[in-house]
Structure 1
Amino acid sequence: MMIGLVGSYGSPAQMVRLAHEAEQHGWDGFFTWDGVSLADEGFDTVACYDPFSILAAVASVTQRITLGALVFAAPRHRPWELAQRALTVDHLSGGRLVLPVGVGVPTERAVTSVHGQPSARRDRAGLLDDVLAWLERSWSGEEFSFEGTHLSTGPFRFPQRPVHGRIPVWPVAVWDADRPPLKSLDRALRWDGVVAQVRGDSPEDAEAGPEAIAGLVAWAAAHRDPAAGPWQVVVQGRLSADDGQAAEQLAAAADAGATWWVESWWDPRTVTPEHLLRVARRRLPRP
């Protein structure tokens, strides 16, 4: 199983240093996050930086680790600008970019304070599908026009394709064995992986444990064509400071079917750049 780290808080320079330290200490991935102006208490004083600028800088000081964000709020981006930024980081990094994507935080002011920006979850989900379809068309290298449910454009052409022909896309999907949200699950099946969550009011509450992961993986195995290629299952959490317990956490996630563990520290009251740097420098307790 691969192990990544989210650079949740800090200046751009601190995030770049964090990513470099993570690679030097054996981590497999570095992720930033995608926000503009957050309204939630505690988060409303957190500085938000452009994720692609951060990742471009990180690409220049790393050689191996996977790069991305948890998660890109794709419906908020103009798809042609998103395609250009993603292509730039993809080539700077030699093809190490991945695109975890979701509908975005509903209380973000880039949604609630912008006239005409879709705010209903259904509309943002529909726009997410259009943006992803547009991105995929842009990777063909051919001229294309697009007509979706929420988005239509005339001709575009991106003559330079991604390094590996396409950029992996990992949509967020919620697992609920009693009430599975089939639209988000089906979206994840169509792409290259899933950022797994459960229903919850906070990032920590929404973390999927081994039981939920096992249920999601079993459902996906029954509904996804095995010939479709590799499918990543991404979970978030915080490893115990005790190496033995941390190894057990990783083993439990891997046994349930997770392929990525992403170390995610989100509480703005307690998490500092210095804490994240200590996390990046720990010896990884590989199971």
Structure 2
Amino acid sequence: MRFGFIGSYGTPQQQVRLARACEEHGWDGFFTWDGVSLDEGGFDAHPTWDPFALLAAAATVTERITLGAMVFAVPRHRPWEFAQRALTVDHLSGGRLVLPVGVGVPTDRAFTSVPGQPTALRDRATLLDDVLAWLERSWTGETFTRDGELLSTGPFRFPQAPVHGRIPVWPVAVWDAVRPPRRSLDRALRWDGIVPQVRGESPEDAEAGPADVRRLVDWIAAQRGPDAGPFDVVFQGRLDADPAVATRQARDAADAGATWWLESWWDPTTVTPEWLLERVRQGPPAVG
């Protein structure tokens, strides 16, 4: 299992320093996040930054670690601009970009304050599928048109493919062992990994625990079959300050089948950029 760290707060300079510290202190990935103007108590006091700009800067000060954002709110991006920015960071980093993607949060004014933007969950999900299909076509190097349910375009061509031919996509999907929501799960199965969530009232409540991940991994294996290729399962959590406890937490997630642990600290009343940097400098736990 690999370990990534989410830079939840800080100036652009602090975020880039955090990314460099992640590489220096043994982490496997640095992730920013994608929001514009959040109408949500606490979070609206913090500035937001363009994720691709931050990741481009992080790419220039790192050589090894994976780069991404938790998560890209794909439905509010123009697909041709999203494709171009992703391709730029992919090449600048030597192919280290991944794309965790979702429908976006309804508290972002970039949805609610802009006429014509999709706000209903069903519409955002449909547009997410349309944009991902458009993105994949852009990687072929061929001229293409797209006639989707909510997105249609005339001819486009991106003559340069991603470094590795494609950029890994990790859709967010809700996991419910009793009644699996097939639309979001099937979307993830079409791509390269999954960011699982369970039903909850807060971001922390929605994080899947080891037991949830174990059941999900078993379900994925049954759906994909024995000959399927690699597939990432992303676990979001917070490692304990006690190294022994942190090691047990990470081992539980790895044993459940997670391939990534993403260190996720979001409380806007307690988390500071300086505190995040100190956490990064402690490094990830060693899991044998």
1:5 and 2:41 equivalent? no
Q: Distance in 2 between matches of 1:200 and 1:103?
A: 17
Output the aligned Cα RMSD: 0.8
Which 5+ residue runs of structure 1 have no aligned equivalent?
none
Give the match for residue 263 of structure 1.
Answer: 263
1:102 and 2:123 equivalent? no
Cα deviation, residue 225, structure 1: 3.9
Cα deviation, residue 119, structure 1: 0.3
- Identity over aligned pairs, percent: 72
Closer, same or farther: CA 95–34 of 1 in aligned 2, 3 Å: same
Question: Quick one: which amino acid aligns to residue 87 of structure 2?
Answer: L
Q: Distance in 2 between matches of 1:285 and 1:214?
A: 21
Q: Distance in 1 between matches of 2:11 and 2:283?
A: 24
1:127-166 alignment runs, 5 A limit: 127-166=127-166
1:115 and 2:115 equivalent? yes
Secondary structure of 1:88's aligned partner: helix
Give the match for residue 35 of structure 2.
Answer: 35
Q: Distance in 2 between matches of 1:239 and 1:54?
A: 25
Question: Quick one: which amino acid aligns to residue 168 of structure 2?
Answer: P
Give the match for residue 196 of structure 1.
Answer: 196
Cα deviation, residue 23, structure 1: 0.4
Higher mean C-alpha deviation, range 228-237 or range 133-142: 228-237
Secondary structure of 1:221's aligned partner: helix
Give the match for residue 92 of structure 1.
Answer: 92
Secondary structure of 2:36's aligned partner: coil
Cα deviation, residue 201, structure 1: 1.8
Give the match for residue 55 of structure 1.
Answer: 55
Which 5+ residue runs of structure 2 have no aligned equivalent?
none
Secondary structure of 1:86's aligned partner: helix
1:44 and 2:31 equivalent? no
**Preserved CA contact (<8 Å) 1:101 1:170:** yes
Q: Distance in 1 between matches of 2:47 and 2:8?
A: 10
Question: Quick one: which amino acid aligns to residue 224 of structure 2?
Answer: R
1:175-214 alignment runs, 5 A limit: 175-214=175-214
Question: Quick one: which amino acid aligns to residue 175 of structure 1?
Answer: W
| Aligned positions, number | 287
Q: Which runs of 4+ in 1 moved over 4 A?
A: none
Question: Quick one: which amino acid aligns to residue 117 of structure 2?
Answer: Q
**Preserved CA contact (<8 Å) 2:27 2:283:** no
Cα deviation, residue 174, structure 1: 1.1
Q: Distance in 1 between matches of 2:285 and 2:78?
A: 40
Q: Distance in 1 between matches of 2:114 and 2:226?
A: 42
Secondary structure of 2:43's aligned partner: coil
Question: Quick one: which amino acid aligns to residue 159 of structure 1?
Answer: P
Closer, same or farther: CA 189–252 of 1 in aligned 2, 3 Å: same
> Which whole-Å deviations, capped at 9, do the CAs of 1:199-255 have from their partners, x for residues lacking one?
112111111101100111111111114444210000101000010110000000011
Q: Distance in 1 between matches of 2:200 and 2:282?
A: 29
**Preserved CA contact (<8 Å) 1:197 1:235:** no
Give the match for residue 82 of structure 1.
Answer: 82
Structure 2-normalised TM-score?
A: 0.98
**Preserved CA contact (<8 Å) 2:75 2:131:** yes
> Which whole-Å deviations, capped at 9, do the CAs of 1:149-195 have from their partners, x for residues lacking one?
11000000000000000000000011111221110000000000001
Q: Distance in 2 between matches of 1:187 and 1:229?
A: 16
